[in-house]
Amino acid sequence: MSADLHDLGFLEVAEALTQKRASSEELTMALLARSEELESKLNSLTWFNREAVLAEARAADAARAAGDNRPYLGVPIAIKDLLNVKGQPCTAGSRILKGYVAPYDATVIARLRAAGCVFVSRTNTDEFAMGGSTETSAYGTTRNPWDTDRVPGGSSGGSAAAVAARLAPAALASDTGGSIRQPAAFCGVTGLKPTYGRVSRYGCTAFASSLDQIGPIARSVEDATAVYQVIAGLDPHDSTTAARPVDDCLPNVRAARDLKGLKLGLPKEYFVDGLHPEVEQLTRAAVAQCRALGAEIVDVELPHSKYGIACYYVLAPAEASANLARYDGVRYGFRAEAEDLQEMYEQTRAQGFGAEVKRRVILGTYVLSSGFHDAYYLRAQKVRTLIRRDFDRVFARCDAILGPVTPSPAFRVGEKTADPVQMYLGDIFTANVNLAGICGLSVPCGFTTGGLPAGLHIIGPAFADARILQIGAAYQHATEWHKQQPKI
Scanning residues 62 to 81, which ones bind other proteins (CB under 8 A)?
none
- Strand pairing of 118-123 and 190-193? unpaired
Rounded distance between C-alpha atoms, residue 42 and residue 454, angstroms: 20
**Nearer Cβ to other proteins, position 25 or 319?**
319
Residue 123 three-state SS: strand
- The residues with which 118 forms a beta bridge, in sequence order, are 76
Q: In degrees, to the nearest 5, what angle opens at C-alpha 364 toward C-alphas 95 and 408?
A: 75
- Marked catalytic residue, from 24, 35, 137, 155: 155
- What length is written for the chain? 488
**Nearer Cβ to other proteins, position 101 or 288?**
101
Within 10 angstroms of residue 48's Cβ, the number of other Cβ atoms is 22
**Nearer Cβ to other proteins, position 143 or 349?**
349
Q: Cα dist. 298→290, 394, 400 in Å?
A: 12, 10, 10
- Marked catalytic residue, from 179, 220, 321, 408: 179
Among 46, 107, 121, 321, binds other proteins (CB under 8 A): 321
* Residue 40 annotated in active site: no
CB of residue 348 to other proteins, shortest distance in Å: 8
**Nearer Cβ to other proteins, position 44 or 205?**
205
Query: Is residue 331 at the binding interface for other proteins, with CB under 8 A as the rule?
Result: yes
Among 7, 12, 296, 328, binds other proteins (CB under 8 A): 328
Contact of 74 with 20, CB cutoff 8 Å: no
Widest CA span of the chain, in angstroms? 70
Query: Is residue 346 at the binding interface for other proteins, with CB under 8 A as the rule?
Result: yes
Among the listed residues 14, 22, 26, the one whose alpha carbon sits nearest the alpha carbon of residue 69:
14
Among 119, 139, 376, 481, binds other proteins (CB under 8 A): 376
Interface positions, 146-205, toward other proteins (CB under 8 A): 195-197
**Nearer Cβ to other proteins, position 72 or 334?**
334
Interface positions, 387-446, toward other proteins (CB under 8 A): 388, 419-421, 424, 435-438
CB of residue 394 to other proteins, shortest distance in Å: 15
CB of residue 120 to other proteins, shortest distance in Å: 23
**Nearer Cβ to other proteins, position 69 or 372?**
372
**Nearer Cβ to other proteins, position 33 or 350?**
350
E-assigned strands of 219-339?
263-267, 296-300
* Residue 80 annotated in active site: yes
CB of residue 211 to other proteins, shortest distance in Å: 9
Number of residues forming the site for other proteins (CB under 8 A): 77
Query: Is residue 101 at the binding interface for other proteins, with CB under 8 A as the rule?
Result: yes
Query: Is residue 318 at the binding interface for other proteins, with CB under 8 A as the rule?
Result: no
CB of residue 56 to other proteins, shortest distance in Å: 19
Q: Which residues of 387-396 are buried (b: 16+ CB within 10 A; e: fewer)?
A: bbebbeebbe
Sequence-ordered list of residues with C-beta below 8 angstroms from that of 374, at least 6 positions apart, any chain: none
Query: Is residue 447 at the binding interface for other proteins, with CB under 8 A as the rule?
Result: no
Among 49, 252, 281, 381, binds other proteins (CB under 8 A): 381
Rounded distance between C-alpha atoms, residue 170 and residue 231, angstroms: 13
Query: Is residue 18 at the binding interface for other proteins, with CB under 8 A as the rule?
Result: no
| Segment lying near other proteins (by CB under 8 A), choices 27-35, 184-192, 331-339, 466-474 | 331-339
Rounded distance between C-alpha atoms, residue 341 and residue 331, angstroms: 14
Write the binding mask 237 to 276 for other proteins: x where contact by CB under 8 A, - elsewhere: --xx-x----------------------------------
CB of residue 163 to other proteins, shortest distance in Å: 28
| Segment lying near other proteins (by CB under 8 A), choices 18-26, 62-70, 344-352, 404-412 | 344-352
Interface positions, 449-488, toward other proteins (CB under 8 A): 462
Residue 218 three-state SS: strand
**E strand or H helix at 175, and its extent?**
strand 170-175
Interface positions, 19-58, toward other proteins (CB under 8 A): none
E-assigned strands of 350-432?
400-404
- Marked catalytic residue, from 23, 35, 80, 321: 80
Within 10 angstroms of residue 459's Cβ, the number of other Cβ atoms is 31
Query: Is residue 374 at the binding interface for other proteins, with CB under 8 A as the rule?
Result: no
End-to-end Cα, the chain, rounded Å: 23
Query: Is residue 233 at the binding interface for other proteins, with CB under 8 A as the rule?
Result: no
Query: Is residue 379 at the binding interface for other proteins, with CB under 8 A as the rule?
Result: yes
Among 47, 72, 100, 146, binds other proteins (CB under 8 A): 100
Sequence-ordered list of residues with C-beta below 8 angstroms from that of 360, at least 6 positions apart, any chain: 130, 316, 317, 320, 321
Rounded distance between C-alpha atoms, residue 384 and residue 392, angstroms: 12
CB of residue 318 to other proteins, shortest distance in Å: 11
Question: Following DSSP, what letter does each residue of 319-359 receive, concatenated?
Answer: HHHHHGGG-SSSSSS-----SSHHHHHHHHHHHHS-HHHHH
Q: What are the catalytic residues?
A: 80, 155, 179
